[in-house]
């Protein structure tokens, strides 16, 4: 898969290794890392290396990518210590709370209470 990239996108820069992160997983299409402002004891972000601004812009050509993101979430949640469940969130658009316009899946878990959410 050819990866397109936005040179101004912070997640594209992280995926390219230009900005460091606490990486927990990487393959040819996906990168997962710890959120810098965790809302839970386990708080990861799973991003495609492909620049896709939001879930609203995903189409049929992204089915496999989206499926890989969702099936990776439970594996990483368990590996990071979310043994009793976790939450997945994709914020989409301004009114959906999206802050970085590069599709990302939040994976949050661990003992409650959490700081937020």
Active site residue ranges: 104
Considering Cα of 22, then 80, then 54, then 69, what sign does the dihedral take? positive
- What is the C-alpha separation between 18 and 10, in angstroms, rounded? 9
DSSP string over 60-114: GGGHHHHHHHHHHHHHHHHHTT-TT-EEEE---SGGGT--SSS--EEEEESSSPP
């Amino acid at each position: 898969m050819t990866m397109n990239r936005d040179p101004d996108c912070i997640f594209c820069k992280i995926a390219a290794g230009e900005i460091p992160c606490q990486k927990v997983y990487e393959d040819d299409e996906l990168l997962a890392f710890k959120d810098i402002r965790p809302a839970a004891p386990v708080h990861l972000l799973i991003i495609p290396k492909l620049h896709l601004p939001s879930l609203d812009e995903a189409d049929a050509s992204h089915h496999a990518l989206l499926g890989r993101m969702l099936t990776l979430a439970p594996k990483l949640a368990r590996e990071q210590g979310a043994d009793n469940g976790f939450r997945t969130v994709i914020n989409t658009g301004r009114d959906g709370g999206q802050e970085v316009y590069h599709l990302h899946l939040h994976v949050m878990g661990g003992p409650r209470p959490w700081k937020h959410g």
